[in-house]
C-alpha cells in the first residue's frame, strides 16, 4: 500500500501543481474584471477542480444556503489541505475566509487571497489575532459571509481538536447565521504528516443554519460546544 500511494502521488502532485498555477493566474486576472458579488461563479468550479486534479471526487450533502439569511459563518472541522476548497466549491454567494497569515505570503495564492478579500490571522500573537477578529466583525457587518475553522489548525489524528473561542465571539458580536459543515474522508485523502495522496471520494456535508435567535442567550463556551456537537453529529 505504501508503494502504491507513493507511486500514485508522484503522478498526481505535478498535475495538481500545474493546474493550481494556471488556475490561480486566471483567478487573479479575473478579479480585475469580475465583481466580487459574482466571483463565486468562477471560484466554485476552480475549487471543485482543485480537488479533482488531486485525485478526489468531491460531493456534497445537505442544503446550501442561497444567501437570503446572509451573512453566514461557515464553520468546519479542519482535517486537510482540501478543506477550504470543499466548502467554497458549493457556496452560492460571495464569501471570504480567515486563514493563516503564512498562506498570504505564498506566490500567486497569497496575491489572489488578498485581492479576494481574505483575512489573515497570526495565531501566535494574541493582539494581532484580536485585531483580525475585529476586522472580520467589520466585514460581517457589511454583509459578507466568512468561512472559518474553529480548531485553528489541521488535526494530525483525524479527530476533531479543541475549538478556539474567537469564532464564537465573532458570531455573538455580529449575530451572523452559523452553518456547521462536516468534511468527510478528507483526512484520509491527505494527512498533515504524510506527503502522499489517497485518491477517492470526499464529502462536504452541510448542516442546518443556526440563526442568532437560537444562540443569542448562550455564552461563548456554550456556543462553542453546541456548534462542535453539531459538526460531530454530521460526521456520523
> What are the pLDDT digits (tens) for 117-146?
999 988 777 777 888 889 999 999 999 999
Question: What residues make up the domain containing 96?
Answer: 2-235
Percentage of the chain exceeding pLDDT 70: 100
Q: Mind giving me the DSSP string for 93-109?
A: S-EEEEEEGGGGGSTTH
| pLDDT (0 to 100) of residue 37 | 92
CATH code of 203's domain: 3.40.1130
pTM: 0.94
Work out the number of other CB atoms within 10 angstroms of the CB of residue 235.
14
Domain count, the chain: 1
| pLDDT (0 to 100) of residue 131 | 87
Amino acid at each position: 500500500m505504501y508503494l502504491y500511494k507513493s507511486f500514485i502521488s508522484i503522478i498526481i502532485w505535478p498535475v495538481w501543481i500545474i493546474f493550481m498555477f494556471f488556475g490561480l493566474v486566471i483567478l487573479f486576472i479575473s478579479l480585475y474584471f469580475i465583481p466580487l458579488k459574482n466571483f463565486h461563479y468562477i471560484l466554485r468550479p476552480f475549487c471543485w477542480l482543485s480537488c479533482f486534479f488531486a485525485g478526489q471526487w468531491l460531493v456534497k450533502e445537505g442544503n446550501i444556503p442561497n444567501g437570503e439569511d446572509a451573512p453566514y459563518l461557515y464553520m468546519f472541522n479542519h482535517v486537510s489541505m482540501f478543506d477550504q476548497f470543499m466548502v467554497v466549491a458549493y457556496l452560492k454567494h460571495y464569501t471570504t475566509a480567515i486563514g493563516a497569515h503564512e498562506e498570504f505570503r505564498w506566490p500567486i495564492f497569497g496575491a489572489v487571497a488578498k485581492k479576494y478579500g481574505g483575512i489573515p490571522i497570526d495565531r501566535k500573537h494574541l493582539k494581532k489575532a484580536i485585531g483580525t477578529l475585529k476586522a472580520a466583525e467589520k466585514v460581517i457587518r457589511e454583509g459578507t459571509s466568512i468561512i472559518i475553522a474553529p480548531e485553528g489548525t489541521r488535526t494530525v489524528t483525524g479527530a476533531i481538536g479543541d475549538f478556539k473561542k474567537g469564532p464564537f465571539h465573532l458570531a455573538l458580536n455580529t449575530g451572523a447565521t452559523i452553518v456547521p459543515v462536516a468534511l468527510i474522508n478528507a483526512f484520509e485523502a491527505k494527512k498533515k504528516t504524510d506527503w502522499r495522496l489517497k485518491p477517492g471520494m470526499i464529502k462536504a456535508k452541510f448542516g442546518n443554519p443556526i440563526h442568532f435567535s437560537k444562540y443569542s442567550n448562550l455564552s461563548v463556551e456554550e456556543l462553542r460546544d453546541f456548534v462542535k456537537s453539531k459538526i460531530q453529529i454530521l460526521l456520523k
